Amino acid sequence: MRHDLDEVLIDPVQEPAGCIDENPPAVMDAPPKHRARVAKRVPRVAIVHDWLVAFAGAEKVLEQILICFPEADLFSVVDFMEERAWMRGKKVTTSFIQKLPQARKRYRSYLPLMPLAIEQLDVSGYDLVISSSHAVAKGILTGPDQVHVSYVHSPIRYAWDLQHQYLQQSNLTAGPKSMLARLVLHYMRNWDIRTSNSVDHFIANSEFIARRINKVYHRDSHVIFPPVDVDAFQLCEVKENFYLTASRMVPYKKIDLIVEAFAKMPGRRLVVIGDGPDMRKIRDKVTPNIEIMGYQPFSVLQDQMRRAKAFVFAAEEDFGISVVEAQACGTPVIAYGKGGALETVLDSSNACPTGLFFDEQTTESIIDAVEGFELGAVKIDPADCRANAERFSVRHFRDGLRAYVQSVAPQFTLPPPALPPVPLVRKIKTTTPKQDEDNEAADGMRVLAVDQSGVLGGAELSLLEVMKNMRGNNETVLFDDGPFRIALEAVGIKVDVLDGAALGGVSKDSGMKRPSAGMIGGVMGLVRGTLEKSRNSDVIYVNTQRAMVVGAIAGLISRRPVVWHLRDIVSPEHFGKTQLTIIKWCTKLMLERVIANSTASAVALTALTRMKEERLDVVFNGISAEPFTELEAVAQHELRSRFGLPQDAFLVGSFSRLARWKGQHVLLEALLDAPDMHAVLVGAALFGEDAYEAELRAYVLEHGLGDRVHFLGFQHDIAACMKAVDIIAHTSISPEPFGRVIIEGMLAKRPVVASRAGGVVDIVTNRENGILCTPGDVNELAGVLGELSADADLRNRLVEQGYANAINRFGTERYVESVQKILSDVAGKGRSKRG
């Protein structure tokens, strides 16, 4: 098709011979419509979107429309978008709602005013108007000489067929508020029908929506599927033994049904990615075979989609982008057989199926579908899944949209798109536009990390991993000197050590001593020192509980947002009443966000504070595999010689500071029933727990275990210690917030035995990548240790699965990326508030 600016379009209506007027009127005397079809020209284009508040599915479509029409002007009811790189510098013309009270947070409350608002946006000076509408954008006022093309994501769902579901979920089924809501929705329906007449051409995002448009507006529409960035997902033909679902946790997504179904299938493992209002309800239904990962960055989602056996989808969606993304990875889909999934997934009726459907949104129907998939009811080739996903690529969307607009508005010459046509074969992108934007923000971010300890404990090692790998200009404040300061400075992090002696009277499990004037003065000194450093920072990142209190006060004074990385289970089992009260009110009043290192930590904090889900993220710690891989070529006997360990004994290693709740005494008691085994205790009594160490040593002497128990004390080279033993035993008698030692044991390629409690269940799938025991049960522990010593095949299987688990789920890259994104988001909001 030619697009020359000087091309003259001949009217396709042919005049009969002998009827040609020899004195035709001048072109300028022709009716306006005829004039528009004589000389082709580049049109002035306006693009109208409902509202700009988050980069979701509709905004991904809008992004591609802007690329197709790069010179267009953009209009929207409101614009509170924080992620703006995808908008390509467009200035947005907004309505009067933009300036109404609390519009940023409660823009949806102004729905009754939105018809009026959209009609006040003036697009009369444009030739071509393209609306991107799932609510009110299609109601923009246009004249007879303008072409209005509306890309409809859906007619207003909550005003039409989903009205009753919306009222029920909003608790508006009875009473005066219900009557008011019903009147508003009735008004919206009438307005919606009336304004459909001003649209010249409808585009639907699926056949399902085309049927809805026909039902509601009595208009035909052309189907152009939404763009899916399939090139950002790589085909993987080797699948692992777990199922995946990923979505925002809102009622209509039905994630709770999927979780309920898998709870009844204990032999089937499910991974859930996403966050939202329903998170607490969904977490309450979790069983040991279900892992809730919460919000995860794109790289984690992509990785899980590539490795999953199948993607489970229970929503009735208009389209369903995640379903296509899964297929782009070569992953089959098990979906509810209604809505857009019927168009994006090919079942057994197709020669090249890519998934299967279940008929009802019930747990029983999902279970039947999963069991049918397991039995091979449908044979699916990952390559066919990828080929099917290609139908929904960004390139197909752009080409289809421009071709359709040109066909309904042939009087215009469309300008070239902002990007060149995508080649048929291209390299897979390593980052998305959103990741690029996040990286740019992180480069300029200034983080002040605060920790109470100078000792290299688990919390400090995890913080070290973040600080040495995170982008931006980062500094650290410690309340004590020691190996942690040395480790931070060794990787180039600037460290200031404040005098934290005043905190010596604070104990998390026994509360506080009566505060003296000296203690109060010392704490205020810590606040002043932290406050001074925070003034040059965008966000304060506190790593431990006592540091959290100091950092929270400093952040309140300096108006810097504070993010707490929670690495404890805040329950009466671990903390005193006074400490819990302080944690509760600091969290409620002074913290912007909390990062929990496990589901158990998050659940305990939620129970204590009732904090909103959007302020709490679960991010599993990341542990580097490098120290372990460096020792691959070192023989075990060399490592045993290094630490003075017996060469021929079967060694069970315990790696933790010596503390009663860590349960080293349980291992020593189990040793009495395992006469052929030795125990290796790596760790020291760090926080006033010398009495417990003395108790352990006395027990060894009393029971004649002196030649079978090896106290190695604190060790720097944990990787070498772990590779020197045969089994790693984690014996905590109280719930562990996370369980770093377990992942390190997996990276050391040693079978792991762990206590079934707390964050450990996020890491270990029983008898798949480790073995779980009842906390404090000596007999069970002894039995498992005996079983492992006698069964080399079992040890090898646990080692293989454990190593894969540690590498795939607990790598440092995804850990740092997740923490960095949270800090960057909070820092950006903090800068906006400060003006």
- In sign, the C-alpha dihedral spanning 656, 659, 661, 665 is positive
Handedness of CA 370, 373, 378, 379 (dihedral sign): positive
* Structure confidence at residue 79 as a pLDDT band (50, 70, 90): very high
- Can you list the pairs that 348-352 forms with residues at least 24 positions away whose Cβ atoms lie under 8 Å? 348/377, 348/378, 352/381, 352/384, 352/387, 352/388
Residue 600 and residue 534 in contact, taking contact as beta carbons nearer than 8 Å: no
Give the model confidence (pLDDT) of 565-582 as tens digits.
Answer: 999 888 887 788 888 999
Q: Which residue has the higher pLDDT, 443 or 808?
A: 808
Which is higher by pLDDT, 407 or 274?
Answer: 407
Same domain, yes or no: 91 and 217: yes
Query: Over pLDDT 90: what percentage of the chain?
Result: 53
Q: Give Cα separations from 656 to 86, 159, 543, 730, 803 (angstroms).
A: 47, 58, 19, 9, 20
Residues 605 and 647 in one domain: no
What is the spatial distance between Cα 385 and Cα 256, in angstroms, rounded to a whole number? 26
- The reply to whether 594 falls in a domain is yes
Place of tokens 């899964």: 326
Distances, alpha carbon 98 to alpha carbons 134, 520, 587, 815, in Å: 19, 47, 31, 37
Cβ neighbours of residue 453 closer than 8 Å, sequence gap 6 or more: 459, 460, 478, 479, 480, 482, 484, 544
Phi then psi dihedrals of residue 433, to 5 deg:
-55, -35
Angle between helices 382-389 and 321-328 (to 10 degrees): 130
State the pLDDT at residue 505.
Answer: 53
| Whether residue 98 is found in the same domain as residue 214 | yes
Residue 651 lies inside a defined structural domain of this protein: yes
Q: Is residue 340 within 8 Å of 391, Cβ to Cβ?
A: no
Measured torsion, CA atoms of residues 701, 702, 708, 710, in degrees rounded to the nearest 10? -40
Structural domain boundaries enclosing 688 = 627-810
Whether residues 295 and 323 share a domain: the answer is: yes
Name the residue with higher pLDDT: 333 or 274. Answer: 333
Q: Chain-wide mean pLDDT for the chain? A: 85
Report CA Rg, the chain. Answer: 31
In a domain, 540, yes or no: yes
- At which residue do the structure tokens 């390299």 appear? 427
User: If pLDDT is split at 50, 70 and 90, which confidence band does 512 have?
Assistant: very low
pLDDT score recorded for residue 624: 85
Give dist(CA 734, CA 16) in Å, integer: 94
Q: Are 220 and 275 in a shared domain?
A: no
CB hemisphere CA count around 92 (13 angstroms): 22
Q: Given this model, what pLDDT does residue 156 score?
A: 83
Residue 35 in this model has a pLDDT that exceeds 60 = no
CB 601 within 8 A of CB 759: yes
Helices (H) and strands (E) in the chain, counts: 32, 28
Q: Per DSSP, what are the bridge partners of residue 47?
A: 74, 130
pLDDT beyond 60 at 39: no
User: pLDDT at residue 438 above 70?
Assistant: no
Kindly state the average pLDDT of the residues 297-302. 80
- Are 273 and 298 in the same domain? yes
The number of distinct structural domains making up the chain is 4
Q: Give the pLDDT confidence of 587-612 residue by residue, as tens digits.
A: 999 999 999 988 888 888 988 998 88
CA dist 394 and 408 (Å) reads 22
Q: Is the pLDDT of residue 453 over 80?
A: yes
Q: Of the ranges 393-407, 417-431, 483-497, which is most confident? A: 393-407
Q: Are 176 and 79 within one domain?
A: yes
32, two tokens: 């306006």
Strand 506-507 and strand 511-512: the pairing is antiparallel
DSSP code of 200? S
Res 419 pLDDT > 90 = no
Hey, what are 412's tokens?
Answer: 């215009």
Q: Is 611 helix (H, G, I), strand (E, B) or coil?
A: coil
**Whole-angstrom distance, CA of residue 460 vs CA of residue 476:** 12
Task: Let me know whether 644 and 564 are in one domain.
Answer: no
The length of the chain in residues reads 835
pLDDT of residue 686: 73
- Report which of 751, 787, 796, 790 is spatially closest to residue 770, judged by C-alpha positions: 751
Residue 749 has which token pair? 């390629």
- Three-class SS state of 817: helix
Q: Please give the helix or strand (H or E) that residue 222 lies within, else none.
A: strand 222-223
State whether residue 333 is helix, strand or coil.
strand
What amino acid occupies position 736?
E
Residue 165 confidence class, pLDDT cut points 50, 70, 90: low
* pLDDT the model gives residue 76: 97
pLDDT at 671 over 90: yes
Angstrom CA distances, 409 to 42, 146, 403, stand at 11, 10, 10
**Phi, psi torsion values for 785, nearest 5 degrees:** -60, -40
Residue 102 lies in a domain: yes
Same domain, 510 and 377: no
Q: Is residue 439 part of a domain?
A: no
Q: 502 falls in which pLDDT band (50, 70, 90)?
A: low
Say if residue 58 is in the same domain as residue 131: yes
Q: What is the rounded average pLDDT of the residues 689-693?
A: 89
> DSSP of 377-409, one letter per residue?
SS---HHHHHHHHGGGBHHHHHHHHHHHHHHH-
> What's the first-to-final CA gap in the chain, in angstroms?
51
Cα separation values, 398 from 86, 226, 346, 418, 650, Å: 16, 10, 24, 11, 64
Q: Annotate 423-488 with DSSP letters as a single string.
A: PSS-PPPSS-HHHHHHHHHHHT-EEEEEES--S--HHHHHHHHHHHH--SEEEEEESS-SHHHHHH
pLDDT value at residue 496: 92
Considering the domain boundaries, does residue 434 fall inside one? no
| Confidence tier at 162 by pLDDT (50, 70, 90) | low
What are the two backbone dihedrals, phi and then psi, of residue 569, each rounded to the nearest 5 degrees? Answer: -95, 105
Which residues contact residue 286 at a Cβ distance below 8 angstroms, ignoring those fewer than 6 apart?
259, 263, 292, 599
Range in 321-330, 707-716, 805-814 the model is least confident about: 805-814
Residue 546 CA to residue 543 CA, distance in Å, equals 9
Residues 683-711 have a mean pLDDT of: 91
pLDDT mean over 266-292: 90
Please give the DSSP secondary-structure letter assigned to residue 107: G
The predicted-structure confidence for 95-149, as pLDDT tens digits, reads as follows: 999 999 989 888 888 989 999 999 999 999 999 999 999 989 999 999 999 999 9
Does one domain contain both 9 and 149? yes
Tens digit of pLDDT for each residue in 631-640?
988 899 999 9
Residue 513 pLDDT greater than 80, yes or no: no
CATH classification of the domain holding 576: 3.40.50.2000
Cα–Cα distance, 419 to 615 (Å, whole number): 37
* pLDDT tens track for 744-769: 999 999 999 999 988 898 899 899 99
Stretch 210-216: mean pLDDT: 93
Same domain as 631, residue 599: no
Q: Looking at the predicted structure, is the pLDDT value of residue 185 above 90?
A: no
Within a domain: 560 = yes
The Cα–Cα gap between 70 and 318 comes to 27
pLDDT of residue 785: 95
Task: Return the pLDDT at 434.
Answer: 47
> How confident is residue 442, by pLDDT bands cut at 50, 70 and 90?
low
Q: For residue 790, is it within any domain?
A: yes
Q: Which residues contact 291 (CB under 8 A, 6 or more apart)?
A: 269, 270, 271, 272, 762
When pLDDT is cut at 50, 70 and 90, the band that residue 269 belongs to is very high
Neighbours of 16 (CB within 10 A): 6
Highest mean pLDDT: which of 418-422, 510-514, 734-738?
734-738
